Structure 1
Amino acid sequence: MPEKFDVIVVGAGPAGTACAFTCAKNGLKVLQIERGEYPGSKNVMGGVLYRKQLEEIIPDFWKEAPLERPIVEQRFWMMDKESTVNFSYKGLEWGREPYNNFTVLRAPFDQWFAQKGVNEGVLLINETVVTDCLVENGKVIGVRTDRPDGEVLADVVVLADGVNSLLGKKLGFHKEFRPDEVALTVMEVINLPKEKINDRFNLEDGQGCTIEIFGDSTKGNLGTAFLYTNKESLNIGVGTTLSSMMKAKLKPYDLLDHLKNHPMVKPLLSGGESAEYLAHLIPEGGYHSVPKVIGNGVLVIGDAAQLVNAIHREGSNMAMSSGKMAAEAIVKAKVRNDFSEVGLSSYRDSLYNSFIIKDLEKYKNAAHTFEQYPQYFKDYIPMMNQAASKFFTVDGTPKKDKQKQIMKSVTGEKGTLKVLSDMYRAWKAVK
């Protein structure tokens, strides 16, 4: 007879561990199954962790978690081939408790987070692949793994198995995602002494900086690049939708090399030593791609539920919040002994009333708009850089005349109505 648990969580990323921890903390018998050698060995993100959502699960976690740097400055670069137009905010209040966000390295952080669940009673099994959900009379009753005699039963199975959730697909919760609904991100960890990082990014000890880069970083295709500071290393990466990669015939690691050798980026990396290469699929479909998240005996959370806000580079915080909401729904269902879709429905209610779905709905048309109309990345970002160069070049031309020249160069190529139409379309996509 297979062993029976209250909850089986498939995956040990932020979503799965948040769910497993919260369930165990509420007295439930929890099995967490991770396919990697250890939590974090298969997980990749740029490296920014927001404080608020994890604090709701583990208060004052920053006092013991393996974090890198609290972020005090966020920069945004609109990049052309030899220039950038920069926007930034630096606030020293972010460098003090309770902080806003941190850079992290996923392997040590995920292991620490999963161990917190183990300390609460979670049974964590690594190097194990869940191949199927067990279904009886229309209800998920457990999972089948690749281990001998690998069937395990549970009242509820929680799918936290990543962006292309094969288990969710087998259950009919989602279709095969289109290339424009998924992005491929490649990144590299580059070791660099703390003193050089502080000097190059104008930081002091205990301060971090993030840079989000648009435009030439993806050769004008829809996507973003990033450069984040750790204690003694940098995370640099770039990602575009698979559809953009296919159309432009881009190779991911060629795109990363292009970014690393850009004249605005190369000096920041000078003297660094490559420590690790990573690649990861990220859900980019947003609101329109959120699959069915609840069924009889099963819930879907995190990346498996497509809960990523690409516009604001938010994913891990949404993952942890969804895991916590799922756990709270399971605890309620346990009291009623009702693990049907109706019995677990408070998860969907909580999710759709939260910042997660509200933010995804706000930007529901953004990715599609910017992919369908590539001029925003290919044309307008270079125009912005050229306009800034012209305006700040002191050559004896009166500033009023410069402004007229800039407006003429912007509207002359495309026409005033075309430019206004493009700006209005972009505003509608993100308003």
Structure 2
Amino acid sequence: MEDDCDIIIIGAGIAGTACALRCARAGLSVLLLERAEIPGSKNLSGGRLYTHALAELLPQFHLTAPLERRITHESLSLLTPDGATTFSSLQPGGESWSVLRARFDPWLVAEAEEEGVECIPGATVDALYEENGRVCGVICGDDILRARYVVLAEGANSVLAERHGLVTRPAGEAMALGIKEVLSLEPSAIEERFHLENNEGAALLFSGRICDDLPGGAFLYTNQQTLSLGIVCPLSSLTQSRVPASELLTRFKAHPAVRPLIKNTESLEYGAHLVPEGGLHSMPVQYAGNGWLLVGDALRSCVNTGISVRGMDMALTGAQAAAQTLISACQHREPQNLFALYHHNVERSLLWDVLQRYQHVPALLQRPG
């Protein structure tokens, strides 16, 4: 049977969409399947995007991207039970912006569609379609969609990849739970409170007594009309603790160093999501195989630097390596050793450099005391 397209990508998050865009630009036919009716609607809003990787993909992104505020102020606060020691900088390293995924993701999908990607929202993939041990499509209800290669960009909770035995479930030490809230605040109040000029933004990072005696960190990012606030705590630690994750966020918001920053705000959005922060040593041993490969959180390529978790820019960088792999593979009529090709491209990317640089941080943060 003939293939319906060259590439099927499951998941229209940042990594999946970026991979789709790059492949389509090279002339491949790409089908992007997203279970949400609107891309980004299932992503909890708010985050910090380092734009180096986005600039490689879309050099003119500044002209149309729905960015919130450019991060010009950055601080790290070491919290004690009743105080904080804060280190501030007006020269954050590398250009970065606060973004809201509910706005950013649809824009990125639209950019991909302009390159020829066909995106189908509201599409549920029930299973991968295999022939003779090779993944060669997906099953959606009664339909079988065939492709030369399938990309799994289904996020940290990689149900399909685990169900088909492509990866094993990650250890609890390699995963964290992010609890995030979006708070409304007038732009003028944001700028006055955080000492910002028009369109400037602040990134506040917190360490120390965040999750009681558990390891963890917290953040606060300024958007145009909202604040994105959250804590991140290792999943293994939370399972041993008797304190609910929601209570940890409530306690953090009540801390004397945090409470004045969020006064007179209204909660607009609240939720939790898994963060694969284990870095290099938590990546699947095999992240590509016979007809398939992983990108984004499914690749578990988030990087915990010790004071923040780099997710979106690493997803974009990894997506470029994945796209380069698929483009090369599709240029050959005979099936290629996809893992060897993908691993080679990942090792040559900035993603690998960052993974190597911070590879020991997760283990250090897990140490007691």
TM-score normalised by length of structure 1: 0.81
Q: Is the 8 Å Cα contact of residues 192 and 273 (structure 1) preserved in structure 2?
A: yes
1:37 aligns with 2:37: yes
- The one-letter code of the counterpart of 1:25 is R
CA distance in 1, matches of 2:326, 2:3: 19
Q: Which residue of structure 2 aligns with residue 9 of structure 1?
A: 9
CA distance in 2, matches of 1:238, 1:104: 17
State the secondary structure of the residue aligned to 1:85.
strand
Bigger radius of gyration, 1 or 2? 1
Superposition misfits of 4+ residues, deviation over 4 angstroms: none
State the secondary structure of the residue aligned to 2:195.
coil
Q: Is the 8 Å Cα contact of residues 218 and 225 (structure 1) preserved in structure 2?
A: no
State the secondary structure of the residue aligned to 1:108.
helix
CA distance in 1, matches of 2:162, 2:7: 20
- The one-letter code of the counterpart of 1:303 is D
Structure 1 gaps, min length 5: 376-431
Q: Is the 8 Å Cα contact of residues 46 and 237 (structure 1) preserved in structure 2?
A: no
1:285 CA displacement: 1.8
- Quick check: 327-336 or 103-112, which moved more? 327-336
CA distance in 2, matches of 1:144, 1:58: 32
- The one-letter code of the counterpart of 1:163 is A
Which of 230, 240, 250 aligns to 2:233? It is: 240
- The one-letter code of the counterpart of 2:198 is D
Closer/same/farther in 2, CA of residues 53 and 338 from structure 1, 3 Å limit: farther
Closer/same/farther in 2, CA of residues 84 and 279 from structure 1, 3 Å limit: same
Which of 284, 299, 316 aligns to 2:293? It is: 299
CA distance in 2, matches of 1:83, 1:34: 45
Which of 209, 213, 217 aligns to 1:220? It is: 213
Q: Which residue of structure 2 aligns with residue 66 of structure 1?
A: 66
Q: Which residue of structure 2 aligns with residue 188 of structure 1?
A: 181
Aligned residues: 366
CA distance in 1, matches of 2:62, 2:112: 16
Greater percentage in strand: 2
1:88 CA displacement: 2.1
Closer/same/farther in 2, CA of residues 365 and 343 from structure 1, 3 Å limit: closer
CA distance in 1, matches of 2:229, 2:309: 14
CA distance in 2, matches of 1:45, 1:79: 25
CA distance in 2, matches of 1:18, 1:32: 11
Q: Is the 8 Å Cα contact of residues 217 and 259 (structure 1) preserved in structure 2?
A: yes
Which of 125, 130, 135 aligns to 2:125? It is: 130
Can you list the C-alpha shifts for 1:25-77, whole angstroms capped at 9, x where unaligned?
11111110111121111123651011110110011202211010000111111
Q: Is the 8 Å Cα contact of residues 278 and 303 (structure 2) preserved in structure 1?
A: no
Can you list the C-alpha shifts for 1:268-288, whole angstroms capped at 9, x where unaligned?
111111111121100022111
CA distance in 1, matches of 2:292, 2:16: 13
Q: Which residue of structure 1 aligns with residue 80 of structure 2?
A: 80
Q: Which residue of structure 2 aligns with residue 335 of structure 1?
A: 331
Can you list the C-alpha shifts for 1:179-228, whole angstroms capped at 9, x where unaligned?
21111111111010111111111111110000111122221311111110
Q: Which residue of structure 2 aligns with residue 325 of structure 1?
A: 321
1:129 CA displacement: 1.8
Q: Which residue of structure 1 aligns with residue 50 of structure 2?
A: 50
Q: Is the 8 Å Cα contact of residues 43 and 102 (structure 2) preserved in structure 1?
A: yes
Q: Cα RMSD between the aligned structures?
A: 1.7
Q: Is the 8 Å Cα contact of residues 73 and 209 (structure 1) preserved in structure 2?
A: yes
- The one-letter code of the counterpart of 1:231 is Q
Which of 226, 244, 248 aligns to 1:255? It is: 248
- Quick check: 153-162 or 38-47, which moved more? 38-47
CA distance in 2, matches of 1:343, 1:105: 34
CA distance in 1, matches of 2:251, 2:339: 48
- The one-letter code of the counterpart of 1:296 is N
CA distance in 2, matches of 1:102, 1:192: 18
CA distance in 2, matches of 1:172, 1:107: 32
Q: Is the 8 Å Cα contact of residues 133 and 290 (structure 2) preserved in structure 1?
A: yes
Closer/same/farther in 2, CA of residues 338 and 55 from structure 1, 3 Å limit: farther
1:171 CA displacement: 3.5
Q: How do residues 30-429 of structure 1 correspond to structure 2 at under 5 angstroms?
A: 30-44=30-44, 46-91=46-91, 100-145=95-140, 147=141, 149-291=142-284, 292-311=286-305, 312-340=308-336, 342=337, 345-373=340-368, 375=369
TM-score normalised by length of structure 2: 0.95
CA distance in 2, matches of 1:344, 1:177: 20
- Quick check: 205-214 or 321-330, which moved more? 321-330
Greater percentage in helix: 1
How many percent of aligned residue pairs carry the same amino acid? 37
CA distance in 2, matches of 1:140, 1:159: 11
State the secondary structure of the residue aligned to 1:345.
helix
CA distance in 2, matches of 1:249, 1:226: 23
